[in-house]
Amino acid sequence: MAKLYFRYGAMGSSKSANILMVRYNYEERGQYAVLLKPRTDNRDGENEICSRMGLSAPAGYVDEFLKEISGVWAKESGEYCYHGKEVNAILVDEAQFLSPDEVDTLSDFVDFYNIPVLCYGLRTDFLNHLFPGSRRLMEIADVIEEVPTVCWCGKRAQCNTRYADGKIVREGAQIMLGSNESYVALCRKHYKEGKLWRQKH
């Protein structure tokens, strides 16, 4: 049976690399996994997902996909195509930027079409508050898994820390798309202490 997965991790945990490898595994077996991202995510330009490791692949937007297939797929048909190919899985990167309604609609593909949906993204923002999309995924996903990464001290990193001029930023808008220069993953202790990296002696 298909399931709705939420695989979350802090900044730098290779979530995008993971989703691209999952897509590759489907393709290697002759199956089609639709690769999507929310429209909010424009860091890599339009219609592409890139990982820090250098992997990349073309991707569509979630809202366009949902609009295009709404009213086209019949729940009883048993064969569901997109761009002329039968869909075997739906993969969503940066899922924290999904709206709760989009998460609910994605869950319909699992429940009514028996298509697995795998969502990758952050769980919390730079203040350790859940993103709306992540909150909904935490509420309804069948499987919730952490993609681990580590703090500079070697402990589990769980805090997505925004910084500027070498200091932690503790106020501001929830969404500020940036590069590695503006975010770092820390353990909770060093997030609280404001220690961005190991002190040089």
- 51 within some domain: yes
Could you give phi then psi for residue 129, rounded to 5 degrees?
-105, 140
CA 34-40-45 angle, 5° bins: 70
Total Cβ atoms within 10 A of residue 126: 24
The DSSP annotation for 22-48 comes to: HHHHHHHTT--EEEEE-TT--TT-TTE
pLDDT digits (tens, 9 = 90+) for 21-78: 999 999 999 999 999 999 886 665 668 888 877 788 889 999 999 998 877 776 666 6
- 178 within some domain: no
- 182 within some domain: no
- 25 within some domain: yes
Domain of 34, in residue numbers: 4-148
- 126 within some domain: yes
Catalytically active residues, by annotation: 94
CATH number for 20: 3.40.50.300
**Which residue matches tokens 């298909």?**
2
- 26 within some domain: yes
Name the domain count of the chain. Answer: 1
- 111 within some domain: yes
What is the residue type of 2?
A
- 160 within some domain: no
CA 159-162-164 angle, 5° bins: 150
Euclidean distance between CA atoms 159 and 42, whole angstroms:
23
E-strand stretches of 13-170: 33-37, 48-50, 56-58, 60-61, 81-82, 85-86, 89-92, 117-121, 143-146, 159-164, 167-168
Task: Per residue of the chain (201 residues), give pLDDT as tens.
Answer: 899 999 999 988 989 999 999 999 999 999 999 999 998 866 656 688 888 777 888 899 999 999 988 777 766 666 788 988 999 999 999 999 999 999 999 999 999 999 999 999 999 999 999 999 999 999 999 999 999 999 999 999 999 999 988 889 888 878 766 544 588 999 999 999 999 987 765
Measured in whole angstroms, the distance separating CA 32 from the mean position of its chain's CA atoms is 19
Q: Is the whole-model pTM more than 0.85?
A: yes
